[in-house]
Amino acid sequence: MRGEPERIMRATAEEKYLLVWPHGDETLGPLVGHHIATERPDLLEHVNYMCGNPRAASQTPPQRHTNGITPGYTAKGTDLNRSYSPSKKPESYEEWRAQEILRETRNHRLTLDLHTSTTDIGRCMLISERYRDDEGVREIIAASPISRIVVLPENITMPNGAQVELATTGLIGNVAGSVSVEYNRELAAETGVEDTLLLIDGLVSGTPRVAPQEREFFNVSDFVLKTQDPGEDAKNFKMCDLGYYPVLYGENSYRKDPTKPYLGFAAATREIEII
């Protein structure tokens, strides 16, 4: 499942679906890819699987992204999920991979971007505000058993006025009909594969395998800055004392990492819709 992704790109059906494993140190992507290859070969006609970052994934231990400058590139490795800049000449290995992935998404009807989180997030999906009402995005939500959806804005304004690009540099902000699926690490191993197969079976057959249900949309508006730490008692998706819903919050490594100015995202509002 690590590397040479083109070797398992062989779906022949007219309507194809793409699975992307973007971060080399995360487990949901390869678990799902391995399950399909070994247990559900019937799906290989419809579903392609792509190792997004073969260089990072094939290191021991696997890395989130490459660290140094890969020969042939001019910049150090970057987070693949912040490397989508379609009109720019790639400088890092990940910026080049992002363009390869974008090219592949064009041959596929819908794309799932599979992640694992070290935060205590349970399971959720992430979509871009830009594609909030996109038909393909809604089709993926309707086929998924996951009820929490995080809506990422194109960018976030920092207290000093600087704009930090968010969805615009990720897959979901650049591709209509794409959704990120996020599981915490333990849950990815317990139910992540089963859930994702339920979702894929619903998409491929054209009929969701789950009933319409209440879906909670959390509209991200800010970062949770370290200078405004709501404390370790604050829980993901629960309104905190500071009046917002923390999302992807609480990763201990962020607390300790001086280069990260934030602890997660803050959603100011929550909407409920039956999908």
Taking CB under 5 A as the binding criterion, the range among 29-37, 110-118, 213-221, 249-257 that sits at the site for Zn ion is 110-118
End-to-end CA distance of the chain: 33
Q: List CB contacts of 52: < 8 A, sequence separation 6 or more.
A: 5, 20, 21, 22, 23, 29, 80, 97, 101
Residue choice 108, 115, 123, 148 for contact with Zn ion (CB under 5 A): 115
CB 274 → Zn ion: shortest distance, Å? Answer: 29
Q: Is the dihedral of CA 83, 86, 88, 94 positive or negative?
A: positive
CA 142 remoteness from chain centre = 17
**Residue 115 or 130 with smaller CB distance to Zn ion:** 115
- In the complex with Zn ion, the residue whose CB is nearer, 201 or 251, is 251
Nearer to Zn ion, 142 or 172 (CB): 172
Q: What single DSSP character describes residue 62?
A: -
Residues numbered 44 to 103 that lie near Zn ion (CB under 5 A) are: none
Beta strands in the chain (DSSP E): 17-21, 47-51, 110-117, 123-128, 148-152, 155-157, 163-165, 178-184, 214-225, 245-247, 262-274
Beta carbon nearer to Zn ion, 26 or 104: 26
Site size for Zn ion, by CB under 5 A?
3
Of the candidate spans 24-32, 155-163, 204-212, 223-231, the one that interacts with Zn ion by CB under 5 A turns out to be 24-32
Nearer to Zn ion, 1 or 44 (CB): 1
- Residues in region 184-243 near Zn ion by CB under 5 A: none
Q: CA 56 to CA 83: how far, in whole Å?
A: 14
The binder of Zn ion chosen from 2, 16, 23, 97 (CB under 5 A): 23
Task: Name the site residues for Zn ion (rule: CB under 5 A).
Answer: 23, 26, 115
